[in-house]
Amino acid sequence: MSLEQLRNLQSEKLVRQVRHAYERIGTFRKRMDELGLKPSDINGIDDIRRLPFVTKEDLRDAYPYGFLGVPRSECVRIHSTSGTTGRRVVAFYSRHDVDFWEDCCARAIVAAGGSKEDVCQISFGFGLFTGGAGLNGGSQKLGCMTVPMSSGNTERQIQFMTDLGTTILCCTPSYAAYLAESIRDRGVPKEALSLRIGIFGAEPWTEEMRRSIEKELGIHAYDIYGLTELSGPGVAFECEAQQGMHVNEDHFFVEIIDPDTGEPLPEGRQGELVFTSLDKEAFPLIRYRTRDICILSRKQCSCGRTFVRMSKPMGRTDDMLIIRGVNVFPSQIETVLLRSGYSSNYQILVDRVHNSDTFEILVEATEERFADTVSGMTRYERELVEALKTMLGISPAVHLVAPHSIERGEGKSVRVIDKRKLISDSQWKG
């Protein structure tokens, strides 16, 4: 559709969504009232900049039902993701919401070159995580023979790949690299595999990683982007050009803003990605700040699609890390440490060894947490690992260290040392 047709469609949907959110979501109505705005003041997407933002903290504070947009009996599913300090974020879905989300995922698979002739192996995690559910639904919608493997169980993953003739693999890029390594280690010849396409996301990955995985598995590898808050994967997807991801603009209105001032930035400028969910009924988010830093481009794409393209996220405005596919906020770790009798003198060390993320936390011991025996200290460490695992969903290695042994940079503590090279140095030209 032409840009004008798209804008008209988006305007129509925005007006309806603002009215819906105003009626159903207390936080949104309150913010609108504070700004002296009524839904009738919003007549189209040009008015979007007048609307208030929604942040992760808002969603965390609204736990659990504060942002539910339909009666619970109309809600058919939830998915969930981590909040910044431990309170989860719950995203709700009506039947209609699940339906169009799966359409978005189906589009992603088609853009990657898939069709109903394909055998699509879903090696994203299933459950509260949206990765597995989204691609599973999209794959079935498209009509692919769908293999819902979830992650892990590498032996069986490879067995089904060779026995069933999997042609499309959907998982995190680090798991794809790990699978490639396992295939090589088991001596499985390339001829035994039918893989053609990879659809990878849920964590940052570089062009270098893409080329490496493509070479190892003999596939074309495509990026997919999304957030639980907006449905899940499928908000944006790469096409055969592999030059950025097309945003499903009929369902999601995208803006780039200056993270400090909140002012919208023109196309081509780097800033924070903000999405408005035009169609979601059960979880209607208007101007949700993703904290991902990105550039948008409306330059013509060789694939012919006219939806705007976003670059791979280039960083975060906050300190969130993605470790083994899981969102980790240092503030969550601090919460656990303080609750467990430690101080906030800690350091997070992240690296990638053999395609797997390593995650260590150094914590300075305190008088209450100093045992006279090494086994006593080890017990304290184990207790911390358990507490952190409950909070984060993954287990770090915890090392207690002597006070003042964690290096402090000029004045400010160096809280995170991330040795993985996840953001490409190469500039995206759009």
Partner 1 sequence: MVKQLSVMVENSSGSLYPVLRALADENIDIQALTIADTERYGILRIIVDQTEKAMDTLKRNGYVAKVTDIVCITMKDKAGAFSEILKLLEDNSVGLEYVYVLGRTGDGNVRILLRADDNENAENLLAANGYRLAGEE
What is the smallest separation between the CB atom of 191 and partner 1, expressed in angstroms?
A: 46
Element (H, E) at 217: helix 207-217
> Given the complex with partner 1, which of 95 and 379 has the nearer CB atom?
379
341 binds partner 1 (CB under 8 A): no
* By the rule CB under 8 A, 348 interacts with partner 1: no
The footprint of partner 1 on this chain (CB under 8 A) covers a number of residues equal to 17
Residue 45 as a binder of partner 1 (CB under 8 A): the answer is no
404 touches partner 1 by CB under 8 A: yes
Q: Rule CB under 8 A: is residue 388 a binding residue for partner 1?
A: no
- Cα 175 to Cα 151: distance, rounded to the nearest angstrom: 8
Min separation Cβ 328 and partner 1, Å: 22
DSSP 143: T
Q: Could you tell me how far CA 209 lies from the centroid of its own chain?
A: 18
Question: Smallest distance from the beta carbon of 406 to partner 1, in angstroms?
Answer: 10
Q: In what order do the strands lie in the sheet with 119-122?
A: 145-147, 119-122, 168-171, 197-201, 220-227, 232-238, 245-247, 309-310, 296-297
Query: Site for partner 1 (CB under 8 A): which residue of 16, 88, 399, 415?
Result: 399
* Nearest Cα to Cα of residue 310 among 348, 268, 281: 268
- What phi and psi, each to the nearest 5 degrees, are found at residue 238? -85, 150
Distance of closest approach, residue 412 Cβ to partner 1, in angstroms: 20
Comparing CB distances to partner 1, the nearer of 35 and 397 is 397
Please, which residue, 153 or 405, has the CB nearer to partner 1?
A: 405
Least distance between partner 1 and beta carbon 366 (Å): 6
Residue 94 sits at the vertex; the CA angle it makes with 307 and 133, to the nearest 5 degrees, is 70
Nearest to 240 by CA among 295, 194, 305, 195: 305
Q: Of 233, 238, 169, 249, give the one whose Cα is nearest residue 207.
A: 238
300 vs 375 by CB, closer to partner 1 = 375
| Site residues (CB under 8 A) for partner 1, limited to 363-382 | 365-367, 370, 372-375, 377
Cα–Cα dist 310/333, whole Å: 31
Binding to partner 1 by residue 358, rule CB under 8 A?
A: no
Rounded to whole angstroms, the Cα distance separating 277 from 287 reads 8
Please state the closest distance from residue 231 (CB atom) to partner 1, in A: 44
Residue selected from 168, 362, 391, 422 as contacting partner 1 according to rule CB under 8 A: 362
The contacts of residue 162 (CB under 8 Å, 6+ apart) are: 188, 192, 193
Regarding 384 and contact with partner 1 (CB under 8 A), the answer is: no
* Distance of closest approach, residue 330 Cβ to partner 1, in angstroms: 21
Asked if 218 is part of the footprint of partner 1 (rule: CB under 8 A), the reply reads no
Choose one: 24-32, 77-85, 161-169, 362-370; the region binding partner 1 (CB under 8 A). 362-370
Helix (H, G, I), strand (E, B) or coil at 111: helix
Binding residues for partner 1, rule: CB under 8 A, are 362, 365-367, 370, 372-375, 377, 399-405
